Amino acid sequence: MTEVTFTPATAAIRLTHWLDAAAAAGLQRLPVDVEQLALHVAKELKWPDPIFKVVAADIPSFEGGLFHVEDQGWALLYNRNMTSEGRIRFTQAHELGHYLVHRFAQQEFQCSQADLVHWGPEMRSIEAEADDFASNLLMPMKQFRACTSTSEINFDILSDASSMFGVSLTATALRWIRSTEHSAVLILSRDGFIDWAVSSDKARANGAFYKTKGRVIELPPGSLAADETIVSNRSGAPISLGTWFMHAHRDAVAKEMKLVCDNYGYTLTLLSLSNGDKVWEPREWSHT
Ligand SMILES: [Zn+2]
C-alpha cells in the first residue's frame, strides 16, 4: 500500500499532471470531469479504499457529502437540486479534496452551502482547504492565466473564463483575485451589507481591504453596489476611490464593476484600483 500525504496544493498538482497527460493523449482537458477522476483516483494512487460511487441525492440540508462505507470505500454524494452545473462540479471537487486530504481525520463529511459559498479569506479549516483544492483542480493556473491575464479585468472576461472551466462566476472571480498582481478587491454583499471581501495581495499591501469577520458593514453610499437602480455594470464605471476607502487621496479614481446574482441572492462587486493608490489611515506620529 502506497500512502501519500497530500496537502490541498500537492493533491491538485498531482491530479493536474495526470489530466495534462491524458489531454496530451487526446482526452478533453476542460472542464474537468470530476466524477470520472473521483472514481479512478484510488487506482492510480494504489489506495485500498476507493470512491466507489458518485451519486446525486435528495439531501436538502447539504450540498455535498463524503461517507465511508465499510468494506466498500467512500460514497460521494451531491445535492441533485443544485441549480448550476458549475456548482455541482465545484461541490464534487470539494468532496474529492476531502477524500484526498482529510479522509484519515473523519469518516464522513457533510458540506453545506455556507461551506461552499461563504468562502472568506479568514476561514482556515478543512472546508477552506477543500475549496482551495477544488479551485486549483478546476482552474489550473497555466490555463487560467492564459485567459485572464489582460490589462483590464471585467465581469465579461471572468464570465467567459467561468464557462471555459465549468465553474461559477464567483469561484472564478475568487481564483482571479487570489492570483492577480493587480490591485483589486472582490466584495460579496447581500441586502445592502458586505458579506465578505477579498483583496488581492497588491491591494492588501496598499491598505485596501475590509475586515468583515464579526462586523456589520454597510455598502458605502454612492457606490454602484449600494444603488438598487443599477442591476449590473459588467465592464465597470469610474468611481472616486474615497467612496470605498475614506483615507484614499481625493483625486484617486477606481473602477467599480457590479453583477447582481439573482439566483443566489447576492451581489458581486469588483473594484479595480491603480497599483500606486494607497489608502492606509494616516498616522499622526508619522508627521512628527
Ligand atoms: Zn466540505
Is it the case that residue 265 has pLDDT exceeding 80? yes
CA 96 – ligand 1 centroid, Å: 9
CA 112 – ligand 1 centroid, Å: 7
At residue 113, the pLDDT reads 67
CA 85 – ligand 1 centroid, Å: 18
Report which of residues 263 and 146 the model is more confident about: 146
CA 229 – ligand 1 centroid, Å: 37
Query: Which pTM value belongs to this model?
Result: 0.92
CA 241 – ligand 1 centroid, Å: 37
Length of the chain: 288
- Cα–Cα distance, 29 to 287 (Å, whole number): 57
CA 19 – ligand 1 centroid, Å: 23
The domain segmentation of the chain, as residue ranges, is 8-138, 171-273
CA 230 – ligand 1 centroid, Å: 35
Mean pLDDT of 245-254: 97
CA 56 – ligand 1 centroid, Å: 16
CA 95 – ligand 1 centroid, Å: 6
CA 103 – ligand 1 centroid, Å: 11
Q: Return the closest-CA partner of residue 88 out of 123, 59, 108, 122.
A: 59
Mean pLDDT of 165-191: 95
CA 207 – ligand 1 centroid, Å: 31
At residue 162, the pLDDT reads 96
Is it the case that residue 288 has pLDDT exceeding 50? no
Mean residue pLDDT across the chain: 91
CA 61 – ligand 1 centroid, Å: 13
At residue 81, the pLDDT reads 84
CA 24 – ligand 1 centroid, Å: 32
Give the pLDDT band (50/70/90) at residue 124.
low
Proportion of the chain above pLDDT 70, given as a percent: 93
Highest CATH level, class, for 8-138? alpha beta
